[in-house]
Amino acid sequence: MLDGDATLREAELQYGPFGCATVKPYSRTQWAADGSSLLKVYTGVDPEGRRHREVETVRRAAHWGLSVPEVLATGKCDAGSWSVFRTLPGVPCDVRTDRAIEEYIGHVLGLAHRLHRSSPGLAPGPGWTQDRGSHALQHHFLLAQLSPRCRQRPWWAALADSLHPLESQPVVYLHGDLKPEHLLLDEHQLSVVDWEASARGPAVVDYTDVAFHLVRDLLYAGVKPGGVPIDLMTWLPFSGPVLAWRMLLWLDRRRPQDIDLVVTRDILRLAAEDHASAGYASLARAISALRTASVPR
């Protein structure tokens, strides 16, 4: 592993030069001038933990035969925790039409058969390597991702109770962020990038994340709630409690006041929903109202 400012400069000389940075809430990325590599600096929440998690998971996923970015260099310096990855061919999945969304969901389902492995003694937690961050129970792992302030909200106890049935589901390896831009397609294969949210937990967490991103991103792109292709999304395994949790996780990571905009009865109704089509319709209405209230995407 490379460490320190000198090794980052060494990596920039070997794999760069890197261009202008693209800044996201939790990372800063720069492409090499020749497009062959990508420098990623982790920022915000637990940058060092996310760096370790992504590097370790990518290496294991490559061993499984998945097409993932090769880790060229990684380390920590005054600028922050960072990694350099080799870029992969392909273009991100498109979700601008129903046909494209259908293909994207098909890719997710096909990938899940290779990705969602379980093994004896596998415990829920962040990353694919069990450590002191592991949790004995699946619902504890999900609730631990919400900030402590959420425990004071009127919906907390009911949400926690609704997540208990997850204990009957196997613990599997998760990508944690299978949104369209993280699945790259070319003529020969499907590649998967951005593994920093990798985890171990119930498979429905990955599927719910896909559905959440589809609904939220379509609505923020100007699609009306009635225009969201819910019939296609019902191909994904569904959990009302996990869908409610995923919406709250989004709000919890936005502006401090945004978590207070959610209506408790809507959370409880969504968590109690057994039918995917009704659940996704409820999610669309809730996110549309939050968008109107100026919650940032």
pLDDT in tens, 182-222: 999 998 899 999 999 999 999 999 999 999 999 999 999 99
Using the predicted structure, report yes or no on whether residue 283 has a pLDDT greater than 70.
yes
Instruction: Give the single-character DSSP code of 222.
Output: T
Q: How far apart are CA 117 and CA 124, in angstroms?
A: 13
Looking at residue 179, its amino acid is K
Alpha-carbon distances, residue 21 vs 30, 31, 32, 41, 286 (angstroms)? 5, 8, 11, 10, 34
What pLDDT is recorded for position 143?
A: 97
pLDDT greater at residue 144 or residue 132? 144
What digits encode the pLDDT tens for the residues 56-98?
999 999 999 999 999 999 998 887 899 999 999 999 999 999 9
Indicate the burial class of 77 (C-beta count within 10 angstroms; 0-12, 13-18, 19 or more). middle
CB contact set of 131 (below 8 Å; sequence gap of 6+): 125
For residue 2, what pLDDT is reported? Answer: 44
Q: What is the pLDDT of residues 28-53, one digit of tens each?
A: 999 999 999 999 999 888 899 999 99
pLDDT at residue 186 in the model: 93
Can you tell me the distance from the alpha carbon of 168 to that of 1, in angstroms, rounded to the nearest whole number?
39
